[in-house]
Amino acid sequence: MKISLLQTDIIWGDPVANQQKAEELIKSLDKSEVYVLPEMFSTGFATEPEGIAEDDLSSLNWMIKTAKNMDAAIAGSVATCISEGGKKTYHNRFYFVKPDGTYEYYDKHHLFTYGGEHHRYTSGKERKVVEFRGVKFLLQVCYDMRFPIFARNTKDEPYDVALYVASWPTVRLKAWKALAHARAIENQCYVAAVDRTGKDPYCEYSGGTMLIDAYGNTVAECEENKVCGITMELDLEALYAFRKKFPVLEDRD
């Protein structure tokens, strides 16, 4: 299976412009089966969601259309506003959209309290593993990277690839890289770590988008401080052979 990771420079609060830029980048890459965008790829990471979070599902609809046109899955998180019973709730919602128009989603569980995300967003209660074309993907968002127990590759809910979408700032980039490699090694999985570049009203971002294999090797990575996309083949046979030869996961707690 081929996977493409998209390191974008997000225009603050402008979903249409960001959708267009993402589509241009997707079409510039080699054909893939899964395209992964950063956290809140359509607006930028907004801890104050009023006026930013989408209540018209425009980005989800764009993802559905693009997935169909590309015959591929499109994944990325969106600041989402849900109205029910006259009450609004906000969610950092990671959508995984399939070519047939169906989708699954994961609401970010570990909200970034340091930045105040927990004051306005509703935390997700369950983690999510999605299967697509025989490959199992764990959906994770940014700050989740710091919590290894939540990402544990378990017997009851195993996965092959952990997708981490993020708006992880330059000042903590060293931690991002170290944690991403650790998650791949300890879970004997691929880690697709997708971060943005550019600036928003609060932070600077330099990217750090990379694909890491189960040995902890960086298979491919984007150039820092640059809009970039990488496409790589996931060698699932080699992954399964490694797990069989060196059965670390069989000794997990």
Report the pLDDT value the prediction gives residue 105, as an integer from 0 to 100: 98
- Calculate mean pLDDT across residues 154-161: 96
Report the pLDDT value the prediction gives residue 199, as an integer from 0 to 100: 96
Report the pLDDT value the prediction gives residue 241, as an integer from 0 to 100: 98
Asked about 237 being catalytic, the answer comes back as: no
Q: How many CB atoms lie within 10 A of CB 29?
A: 16
Q: Has residue 253 got a pLDDT over 90?
A: no
185-210, pLDDT tens digit by residue? 999 999 999 999 999 999 999 999 99
211-242, pLDDT tens digit by residue? 999 999 999 999 999 999 999 999 999 999 99
* Sequence spans of domains, the chain: 2-251
Asked about 142 being catalytic, the answer comes back as: yes
Q: Has residue 5 got a pLDDT over 90?
A: yes
Where residue 86 falls among pLDDT bands split at 50, 70, 90?
A: confident
Catalytic residue among 54, 142, 177, 228: 142
167-183, pLDDT tens digit by residue? 999 999 999 999 999 99
Helix or strand run (H / E) with residue 125: none
CA distance 24 to 93: 23
Report the pLDDT value the prediction gives residue 130, as an integer from 0 to 100: 98
3-state class of 238 per DSSP?
Answer: helix
- Calculate mean pLDDT across residues 21-45: 97
- Calculate mean pLDDT across residues 145-159: 97
Report the pLDDT value the prediction gives residue 85, as an integer from 0 to 100: 83
Residue in this structure with the two tokens 């996965």, named with its chain if needed: 159
Residue in this structure with the two tokens 């849900």, named with its chain if needed: 82
CA distance 114 to 10: 22
Asked about 228 being catalytic, the answer comes back as: no
Q: Dihedrals φ, ψ of 60, to 5°?
A: -65, -45
Residue in this structure with the two tokens 């609809």, named with its chain if needed: 61
Q: Has residue 106 got a pLDDT over 90?
A: yes
Kindly calculate the radius of gyration of the chain based on its CA atoms and give it in whole angstroms.
Answer: 17
Report the pLDDT value the prediction gives residue 201, as an integer from 0 to 100: 93
Q: Has residue 244 got a pLDDT over 90?
A: yes
Both tokens of residue 234? 């996931």
Report the pLDDT value the prediction gives residue 116, as an integer from 0 to 100: 94
∠ CA(13), CA(18), CA(22), 5° rounding? 155
Catalytic residue among 33, 54, 98, 108: 108
CATH architecture of 2-251: 4-Layer Sandwich (3.60)
Where residue 81 falls among pLDDT bands split at 50, 70, 90?
A: very high
Give the β-pairing of 2-7 and 197-199: unpaired
Where residue 151 falls among pLDDT bands split at 50, 70, 90?
A: very high
Single pTM value for the model: 0.97
Catalytic residue among 39, 54, 117, 221: 39
